[in-house]
Structure 1
C-alpha cells in the first residue's frame, strides 16, 4: 500500500522545504477534494486488505464521520455543486487519520511474514 515518498528528503533540507511549500499548498487547494468537505485519507482506495482492516480499526465516531463526508461529497458531485466556502475542509483539519493505521498494519504483516519464514535450526554440539 505504501508508496515511495520524497517528503522525508525534502523536509530534511530547509531551503528545499521553503521552495516546495507554496507549490504543495497550491496543489492541495486546487485538488478539489477539500471543496467537497473531504480529507486526504478519504481518497485512499478501499480495495486492499490492509485498508479494509484499517477501516475496521477506526473508532466508531471517525468511521461515522468518514461515511458522512463520503456521502455528502458524492451527493454534491451528483448535483454538480460545491460546499459553501466556510464549510470547506481547512488545511489544519486535513490531518491523516487512516494512513497511520495502514502503516501500522503493514508493519505488523511484514513482521508476521518475517516470523513465519524464519528457519530454526539446532546448533551442533562441539566434541
Structure 2
C-alpha cells in the first residue's frame, strides 16, 4: 500500500512532508556516492531483470558505471566531492516506470491465463 495517492490529493500534507523527504534522501547518502534512487532497486527479482533489459544502452551503461563507482568508493570508505553528488533534480525514476509496466503486463498475462470460459446452455 502506497501513501502517494493520499499525498497527491492533499497538497498541504505533501508540502509539509517534502523537507522530511529531502532530509531522508540526503541522510541515506546514496547521492553522495553518485547513485540514483532507482539504482538501489534489487536486481534479484525477475520483473526487475525484465525492466532492466528495456533500458536504453546509454541508461544501462550509466547505471553500471554509477554502481561500480559507488562500490569502489564504498570499499575505499570515501565519498565523491560535493560537486559530483547526485543532485535532487537529476535523481529521476528511470527503472520504476519500466518496472510498473512489466508488473502490469505480468498481471494481465496471469489474468488472461486464468480465464475460465463460460459454457453456453
TM range (shorter): over 0.9
Number of aligned residues: 121
- In structure 1, the residue matched to 2:115 is 118
d(CA) in 2 for partners of 1:28 and 1:76? 19
For 1:81-100, what aligned pairs fall within 5 Å after superposition? Answer: 81-100=78-97
Superposed CA offset, 1:80-114 (max 9, x none) = 11100000000000000001111100000100110
- In structure 2, the residue matched to 1:35 is 32
- In structure 1, the residue matched to 2:61 is 64
How far does residue 121 in structure 1 lie from its aligned partner after superposition? Answer: 2.4
How far does residue 30 in structure 1 lie from its aligned partner after superposition? Answer: 1.2
Residue 100 of structure 1: SS of its match in structure 2? helix
Query: Which consecutive unaligned segments of at least 5 residues does structure 2 have?
Result: none
Query: Which consecutive unaligned segments of at least 5 residues does structure 1 have?
Result: none
d(CA) in 2 for partners of 1:57 and 1:123? 42
d(CA) in 2 for partners of 1:78 and 1:39? 19
d(CA) in 2 for partners of 1:64 and 1:86? 21
TM-score by length of 2: 0.96
TM-score by length of 1: 0.92
How far does residue 63 in structure 1 lie from its aligned partner after superposition? Answer: 0.4
- In structure 2, the residue matched to 1:12 is 9
Rg: which structure is higher?
1
Superposed CA offset, 1:34-88 (max 9, x none) = 0000000000001010001111111111000000000000000000111000000
- Give every structure 1 segment of 4 or more consecutive aligned residues whose post-TM-superposition deviation is greater than 4 Å: none
